[in-house]
Structure formats: structure tokens, C-alpha cells
Structure 1
Amino acid sequence: MPFVDLHSADDFASIYYTTNSLFGNVGGFDPEKPTVCILHPTFLDSTWLHQQFNDPRLDSEFNLIAFDMRVAGKSECRNSGKHDSWVDAADLAFCAQALRLAPFHVLAMESTSINCALRFAALFPEMCLSLALCNVPAPTELKWIYTAYDELIHTWCFADDLESYEHVAAEAVTFTFGADAPADLRDDLIAYWEQGMHPRKRCRVLEQANVAMNRVPLPAEAYPHITQPVLIIHGDANESCPRKYAERMAHELKGVLYIVKGGAGYLGIPQGTASIVNQVYVKFVSRLPRARSDTTTPTLPIEDRMQEALGKLEQIIGDSSIHTRDPLSSLSFCCLPDEIIQQQTDALNVYRKGQTTAYCPLSPAGRPIRRYSERPKDDWFESNTENISYAGGRYYSEPAARTQTSPLPMPKSEPMSPDDGRLRRGTFSPTSVEKLVIKGSMAKVVTGSQPTLHKLFL
């Protein structure tokens, strides 16, 4: 399998990549065609880009390459509290130089990929020909999403049976794609998460969540460094990424904004919206000067080029200590505050305890035990298309007026402020994992443990 190994004194990552060439590596690229690097959606990997890799409009006209981010898919890394989107951008630059890629176009899908792409374009402009961003998120996570993720990730990582895990995974599908997600898509997503993001891999799950939830806004000083042509594709029905942030980004980067009518979360996965995204993207790139994909030798050694990038990062962030960091380590590009790095490190240490013996929703063969749609439903309250509900062996007819009402809209809120973020990030602390269990009769507990209860409720 094609991997790029990144070694340094304080970090190790093995980054998996795939291409549309015959043997799945960059050696099979056609030098006459431009190269497009596609960044996968949040909490997924490059296997979910089949709508792009299998589209003749992209496959026949471009060399396609996709990397699994360091805590996604087949990539492996040493878990770290320093992981943020600047680190992802450095990983992408290291991989591009190691593979001797010619300058390429970037197509970024959803939140973490977009934040990576923007930072990559700012620090390594000679490697990036253009940017296409699908569903631009808020600068920091919206408060209601942060609260939902907070509970979701903890329940996900500490599920202790199949029903609990399937329930929280189904909630994640609804949260991501909406309540109208097709049953086969729901089954595929839950099966994917069961195989690669189960409780025995909860440190990877937490680290992915940290990158998305604890992100720091891109400084205004970075925007002048992003000079590439920009296309923003945004779904007008996406309630987790309000349209106003896409419009603001298009204004800041002087880019083109295309609105997908009825588009919601993850535009590149459902067949209908994915086809629209691909068509719009091909038209966008076809208007740009056609680039070749000849294998290139970097003009600067990798260490010197990354040191130059650290110097630019120092100017953008305003931290005079950045240029003294190790240029061969992706973690040197981390721009998180020290307290957040420490909190994330502590949380990873807590989640690591008992990880190897945690519940695993897979059979001994390493496959999901069942499809989510095939689970037993006798003990659940279900509703079918004929407005008939089934519960405990009895049928009830629901009022037509109730079933015809539209779903409740998602909550509306503003992005997290820095102070709110510090308070909320405390939920990923040891106290959120450890639980106090009181055993014995209630009368004995109340009469004999008054001081304990008093302290407990203070």
C-alpha cells in the first residue's frame, strides 16, 4: 500500500494515499493532465470519495490523489495534543514534497479539510494552483454543535454494548446528514465507524474531534497570502454551516460562490449533490490555465522549505518563538494555546486508559456483526410510512396532522468565543470520564453518608 512516512524527534506519522492511476500511486500519473488533491470529509476517509474518483468528468481529465489525514482511515500516527489544522497542512506539504508532486488543485470537503486547505494555500502557495471549498464552516464551532459533539463523542468512545454504540452512531448520521438520510447510506456509515472508530480506537476519535471542535480562527493576516483562484460550493440547507460564513469567505478571498439548492451536509457523498459539485468543479478548473503534472525536484531541500514556512507562520501568528521549532516535525506548526494543548494531552491520556479492553462492535473476523437496518426492533418504538406505530406488540394509529408536520429546525447560535471555548473544552477532562458509583440501599446511603453526599452536590 502507498504510504508516506514522516519522522522527526517528537512525532511519527504514516500517511496513506490513493490515486486514480492504474497501480494506485503517483508513478502512473499522466504528465499531460493537471493533478487534483481531494481532502476527505470530517470523521471519514478517502474511501468516501468514490463519487469523485468514479466520475468520468474527473477521472478522465485529471490525475486524482487523496490522503487520509493522520488520525483517519489507514493512516497511523502517535497521538498528540498538539494536533490542529496547521499540522494537517504541514503533513500535506511534507507528502507533496516526498512524492515530488507538481503543483496541484485542492478540492476540500467539509470543515477539517477546508481549514487544512486554507492553511496549506497560505504557507505553500507554490504547491497550490487553486482552492475549492465545499460547505465552509464558522471560524469556530457553533455553540449548539459544540454541545452536541461534547455529549456524542463521550458516549461514542465509552459505549459498552452494541445497542448503545449503534444508537449513538445513528444519532451521528442524523446530525451529519439529517433525518432523511437513506437507509443504505446510514448502514454504510455505521458499518464504517464500527470498523475504524470503535471504543478501542477512542483516542483517534477524540483527536479527530479535537481538531474540529477546538479549532482557532484563521488570522486575518493569513488572507493576503491566499492568492489562488477560489471556488466555494455551499448547500443552502446546511444548518450546521450557515450560508453567511460562505459568503464572508468568498468576500475575503475574492472567490466565486455557488449555492447548491437543497444541499445539506457532506455535499460530496450523496449522489445527487455530488454530481452537482463535480460538474461545477470541472467547469471552474477548465477556466484556469492548464497545468502539467511532471515529476518535479524541489528547488529547496525539504528542511529549508519547511523552515521558510515556519518563518511565514511566525509572521501570520505573531509568535516570535515559532521559527526556533524543528522544521522536520509537523507538530512544530501547531498554533493552539498552551492551555488547550495541555487539556487535549490530558484528555488523550485519560481516554487511553482501558482502551485495549474496551468494547469492540465487531465479530472475531473483524467485520460488523449486523447491518444497522437489520437490528431487532421489537423493543423499540417504530413508525412506518402508513402512520402506524409499533410498540411492544401493539399497533397505534398516529394523528395525520402530527406526522405531516415538518421536522423541528436546528438550533440557531453564534460561534464559540475564546472564553466560552476554554470553558467548554474542560468537558474533555478526566472528570468527564470518571464516574462515582454508590452501592448499597438508599436508606443506608442517606443516613450514613451525609457528609459524602454534601460534598458530592456542592
Structure 2
Amino acid sequence: MPFVDLHSGDDYASIYYITNTPLGNVGGFDPKKPTIIMLHPTYMDSKWLDNQFGDPRLDKNYNLIAFDMRVSGDSTCRPNGKHDSWVEAADLAFCHMSLELPPCHVLACESISVNCALRFAILFPDMCLSLTLINVPAPTELGWVFTALDEVTQALCYAEDLESFEHAAMEAVRFTVGSDCDTDLQDDLIAYWEVNMAPTRRVRAVEQMNVIMNRVPLKPYMLKHITQPVLIIQGERNETCPVKFAERLVADLVNAKNGAVLYTVKGGTGALSIIPGTASIANQVFAKFVSRFKYDDVNMEPVSIPTEERMAEALAKLSELMADSSITSRNPMSSLSFSCLSADAVKGQTESLALYRKGQSTAFTPVGPDGVPIRRFSERKKEHWFQGERDGISYAGASFLPLKLGKHDLEHEKQLPLPVSDPISTDVQQGRLRRATISPSSIDKQVIKGSMAKVVGSNSNPASLQRLLNK
């Protein structure tokens, strides 16, 4: 399989990638065609870009390449508390230069990829022809999304049985894709998470969660450095990434060539790129956007500057943006040198990684000995009379009710609206890092043994108990 190995004194990562060439590597690229870099959605990998790789509007006219981020899919890395979206952008630049790619169009899907792509365009404009962002998130996560991600990720990481894992995964489907997720897609997502986000791999899961939830928002003066053409494709009904934040980003991209463009997908909810219907719409808009690009205006040759020199230039630019002169003295050949997290955030993330690593090797795994999920979520047995349904509410089974009440009418299909909240503050982020030092498995569970009389006698007032018995 094709990998790009990134190694330095303090870091190691092996980045997996796929292409649309017969042999799956960049050697088969047509030099006459422009190249598109695709970045996968959050908590997924490049395999979830089939709707883009299988679209002839893109496959026939462009060289396509997609990378698994360092804690996703088939990529591997050494866990590190310094990991943030600036590190992801540096990874992408190292891969770009290692594979000697020409300047590329970048298509970023959902939160983690959008944050990486924006930083990549700021630091490495010579590698980025244009920027297309699908579902722009808030600068920091909305309050309810922050809480939901935190709780669901912890529930997945510390699930002790298949039902607990599936319940947490179903909650993740709701705010990742939407309440009306197709059954087959729901099964595929949960099966993927059972393999890639199992409790036995929870360090990777929590590291990716840290990147998303502890991100430092980009300031307007930083966004002014983006001069490439920008297209934003936003779901009209996306509750985790409301349209207003895409509109705000359009307003902040004052130097984008010809002005940033916002396209709203009518009825679109979450994860536009993996739902076949909305993915086709997004692909069409993206294909039209990049087809209008004028290649005569730019140098289409790969970056000719030595890698160390080019990365040193990027560090100098980052130092200027962050107003931190110490950044320029860091090792330019390490992606971790681009981290912009505070010392407290790095400490908190390092401690959380160490905590989640405890007991990981002996944790529950939701897959069989062959590494394949034991069952499809939709095929689970519904033997209990009180079942949790798609809207998150439980209903009594039909066999316990009169016939006229046993059938769920249109009211059953109505979905509860998700809560509305504002982006979180830095104080909330730091509070979560402090809470991460305690895991569910670290709580002592006291069990009182002995006869009932002894238990009652040790926990009750004898006089009051005698009065109760005499009544």
C-alpha cells in the first residue's frame, strides 16, 4: 500500500493515501490533468470518498489523491499531545513535496478537514490552487456539539459490551449525518467505527477528538492571507454546522480571488459528501467551480525549493501570525513544530492520551476473531419490550398495546430538534482537558456484602427502623 513516511527526532507518522490511478500511486498521474487533493470527513478515512472517486465528472478530468490523516484509517503515528490542525496542515505539505505533486485544488469535507485545509492554504499558498470547503464548522464547537462529542467519544472508548458500543455509535450517527440517516449508511458507519474506534484503539479516537475540540480559532487577520479562489458548500439544515458560520467565513475571506462563494444545498443536513444524493450535488458544484480555473496564471510545476528550506519559510510565517518568535527556532522537518497549542493544552492532551492508554490492550472489542463486526446494527435482535427508536425516544412495543395504538403514525417519525447554542470559550476547552484526567474506569465502585439485616443495620438509624417495623 502507498504511504508517505514522516520522521524526525520527536515525531513519526506514516501517512496512507489513495489515488484514481490503476496502480493506486502518483506514478500513474496524467501530467496534462490538474490534481485534486481530497481530505476525508471527521472520524472517517479516505475510503469514505467513494462518492467523489466514483464520479466521472472528477475521475475522468482530474488526477485524484486522498490522504488518511495521521490518526485515521490506515495511517499510523506516535501519539502526541502537541497534535492540532496546524500539524495536520504540515503533514499535508510534507506529503505534497515528498510525492512531488504540482499545485493542487483542495477539497475538504467536514470539520477536521476544513480546519486543516484553511491552515494549509495560509502557510503553503504555492501548493494550493483553490479551496473548496464542505460544511464549515463554527470557529470553536457549538456548546451542545462539544458536550455530545465528549460524551459519545468517551462512551465508545469505554464500552464494555456490544449493546453499549452500538448505542453510543448510534448517537454519533445522529449528529454526524443527521436523524434521517439511511439504514444502510447507518450500518456501514457503525461497522466502520467498530473496527476503527473500538476501545482497543481508543488512544487514536481521543487524539482525533482533541484536534477537533481543542482547536484554536483562526483570527480574521490570518484569513486575509488566503488569496486562492474559495468555494464553500453548506448544508441548509446542518444543525452542527449552521449556515451562519459559513456566511461569516465568506465575509472574513476578504482577499480570496473574486470573492469567496457560498453554495447552500437545499435540505442538506450533515456529512454531505457521504450521502449519495447530496454528494452528487456537491460534486457537480465543485466540478463546475474548478473547471473555470485559469492555469495560465500560475506555475504548475512541483515545488522546487528543498523541503527543509520551504518548511522553515512556513515556520517563519507561522511565527509572524502567532506573534511568537520562538516558533522560528523549531525543527522545520517535524510536523509537531507547527503546533500552536498552549503549554496547558499540550499538557492536558498528553495526560488524556496517557489515561486512555491504560487498559487499552485488554479492553472490549466489538469485532470477532477475524476482525469483522459480529453483526449489522439493523439486524440486531429486538427482544426487549421497550426499544429506543431513531428519534432517541423509547416506545412500548405493539404486542403490549391495543392494535390501534400499536402502529406508530407520523408523530413517531417526527424528530426532536437539536439544541441551539453558541461556540464554546477557551475556558470550557480547558475545563474539558482537566476533566479528562478522570476516566470511568477510575471510579471506585463499593460493593457491600453480607445479609440484608447487617446491611440495613449499618446504614440506618436503629430507632427509626424499629418504628417502621412496629407499624
**Aligned ranges for residues 50-449 of structure 1 at < 5 Å?**
50-253=50-253, 254-290=259-295, 296=301, 298-379=303-384, 381-382=386-387, 391=397, 394-395=400-401, 397=405, 403=411, 406-430=414-438, 433-441=441-449
> How far is the alpha carbon of 1:390 from its aligned partner?
5.6
- TM (norm. structure 2) is 0.90
In structure 1, what residue type is equivalent to 2:73? G
> How far is the alpha carbon of 1:33 from its aligned partner?
0.7
Distance 1:262 1:291, change over 3 A: farther
**Residue of structure 2 equivalent to 1:454:** none
Matched residue of 2:5: which SS? Answer: strand
In structure 1, what residue type is equivalent to 2:364? Y
Matched residue of 2:273: which SS? Answer: coil
The 10-residue stretch of structure 1 (315-324 or 290-299) with the greater mean CA deviation from structure 2: 290-299
In structure 1, what residue type is equivalent to 2:66? A
> How far is the alpha carbon of 1:172 from its aligned partner?
0.9
In structure 1, what residue type is equivalent to 2:78? R
- TM (norm. structure 1) is 0.93
The 10-residue stretch of structure 1 (10-19 or 290-299) with the greater mean CA deviation from structure 2: 290-299
Matched residue of 2:442: which SS? Answer: coil
Contact 2:133–2:233 (8 Å) recurs in 1: yes
Distance 1:299 1:444, change over 3 A: farther
Distance 1:417 1:271, change over 3 A: same
User: Over residues 289-339 of structure 1, what are the superposed CA-to-partner deviations in whole Å (9 max), with x where a residue is unaligned?
Assistant: 147999955322111111110000001111111011111110010001110
**Greater CA radius of gyration, 1 or 2?**
2
Following the alignment from structure 1 to structure 2, what is the Cα–Cα distance between the partners of residues 31 and 126? 18
> How far is the alpha carbon of 1:430 from its aligned partner?
2.8
In structure 1, what residue type is equivalent to 2:285? V
The 10-residue stretch of structure 1 (417-426 or 129-138) with the greater mean CA deviation from structure 2: 417-426
Identity of aligned residues (%): 56
Distance 1:320 1:407, change over 3 A: same
In structure 2, what residue type is equivalent to 1:353? K
User: Over residues 338-381 of structure 1, what are the superposed CA-to-partner deviations in whole Å (9 max), with x where a residue is unaligned?
Assistant: 10110110011011011011011111111111111111111153
Structure 2, unmatched stretches of 5+, are 254-258, 461-471
Following the alignment from structure 2 to structure 1, what is the Cα–Cα distance between the partners of residues 374 and 439? 33
Following the alignment from structure 2 to structure 1, what is the Cα–Cα distance between the partners of residues 95 and 247? 31
> How far is the alpha carbon of 1:449 from its aligned partner?
9.1
Contact 2:158–2:440 (8 Å) recurs in 1: no
User: Over residues 131-152 of structure 1, what are the superposed CA-to-partner deviations in whole Å (9 max), with x where a residue is unaligned?
Assistant: 0000000000111111111211
> How far is the alpha carbon of 1:447 from its aligned partner?
7.5
Distance 1:227 1:354, change over 3 A: same
Contact 2:239–2:269 (8 Å) recurs in 1: yes
The 10-residue stretch of structure 1 (215-224 or 284-293) with the greater mean CA deviation from structure 2: 284-293
Distance 1:389 1:345, change over 3 A: closer
User: Over residues 401-436 of structure 1, what are the superposed CA-to-partner deviations in whole Å (9 max), with x where a residue is unaligned?
Assistant: 772673221111100111222123322223555111
Distance 1:12 1:382, change over 3 A: same
Matched residue of 2:435: which SS? Answer: helix
Contact 2:398–2:407 (8 Å) recurs in 1: no
Number of residue pairs aligned between Structure 1 and Structure 2: 448
Following the alignment from structure 2 to structure 1, what is the Cα–Cα distance between the partners of residues 25 and 336? 26
The 10-residue stretch of structure 1 (187-196 or 431-440) with the greater mean CA deviation from structure 2: 431-440
Following the alignment from structure 1 to structure 2, what is the Cα–Cα distance between the partners of residues 218 and 445? 58
> How far is the alpha carbon of 1:389 from its aligned partner?
6.0
> How far is the alpha carbon of 1:382 from its aligned partner?
4.2
Contact 2:103–2:300 (8 Å) recurs in 1: no
Contact 2:103–2:301 (8 Å) recurs in 1: no
> How far is the alpha carbon of 1:448 from its aligned partner?
6.4
The 10-residue stretch of structure 1 (171-180 or 309-318) with the greater mean CA deviation from structure 2: 171-180
Matched residue of 1:225: which SS? Answer: coil
Contact 2:352–2:433 (8 Å) recurs in 1: no
Following the alignment from structure 1 to structure 2, what is the Cα–Cα distance between the partners of residues 288 and 110? 24
In structure 2, what residue type is equivalent to 1:340? A
User: Over residues 8-52 of structure 1, what are the superposed CA-to-partner deviations in whole Å (9 max), with x where a residue is unaligned?
Assistant: 000000000000011111010011111000100000000000000
The 10-residue stretch of structure 1 (118-127 or 420-429) with the greater mean CA deviation from structure 2: 420-429
Contact 2:93–2:124 (8 Å) recurs in 1: yes
Distance 1:394 1:25, change over 3 A: same
Contact 1:250–1:256 (8 Å) recurs in 2: yes
User: Over residues 161-219 of structure 1, what are the superposed CA-to-partner deviations in whole Å (9 max), with x where a residue is unaligned?
Assistant: 11111111111111212221111001100111111110000000001111111111012
**Residue of structure 2 equivalent to 1:453:** none
The 10-residue stretch of structure 1 (436-445 or 414-423) with the greater mean CA deviation from structure 2: 436-445
**Residue of structure 2 equivalent to 1:11:** 11
Distance 1:123 1:357, change over 3 A: same
Following the alignment from structure 2 to structure 1, what is the Cα–Cα distance between the partners of residues 93 and 294? 23
In structure 1, what residue type is equivalent to 2:128? C
In structure 2, what residue type is equivalent to 1:127? M
Distance 1:378 1:285, change over 3 A: same
Contact 2:40–2:49 (8 Å) recurs in 1: yes
Following the alignment from structure 2 to structure 1, what is the Cα–Cα distance between the partners of residues 387 and 318? 53
Matched residue of 1:65: which SS? Answer: strand
Contact 2:233–2:264 (8 Å) recurs in 1: yes
Distance 1:213 1:446, change over 3 A: farther
Matched residue of 1:192: which SS? Answer: helix
The 10-residue stretch of structure 1 (164-173 or 91-100) with the greater mean CA deviation from structure 2: 164-173
